[in-house]
Structure 1
């Protein structure tokens, strides 16, 4: 069973295409290549999962800005109640 191999394939090749009676090479390069391919798949899946999650949790309609002030005609407008406030300028 173990002595009659016609060819030797890497781990990645065996996972993708199947070994079909061939011996599987257990070298450092073969293991790192399979691990690298696995990491690329995981990172790609995370990227698409985050995009999908952001799309699913997105607010349906954007909220309009309620605090937009009308444009001022003068750069400064004096508030008559400011003189009685707790925070005052030392110059009056």
Structure 2
């Protein structure tokens, strides 16, 4: 457990160990979420990445991309199409 003090402006310094665990760097934004009466803080970039993963879940299989080789083949085909145009 870490402890931080709130300033008169409502600012809090996030302890270094918490920043490391959340992958928060200088200039990053943090997200506060309420769930079940508890407040959670997370790295907003990681939350956006997880949301994108959920949104694209299953899309590769639907496109017939089941292996890395399939992805490489598709990229080569797309590059070839763009050169021909």
The answer to whether the superposition gives a TM-score over 0.5 is no
**Larger RCO: Structure 1 or Structure 2 (Cα < 8 Å, ≥ 6 residues apart)?**
1
Of Structure 1 and Structure 2, the greater strand share is in 2
TM-score per shorter chain, which class?
A: under 0.3
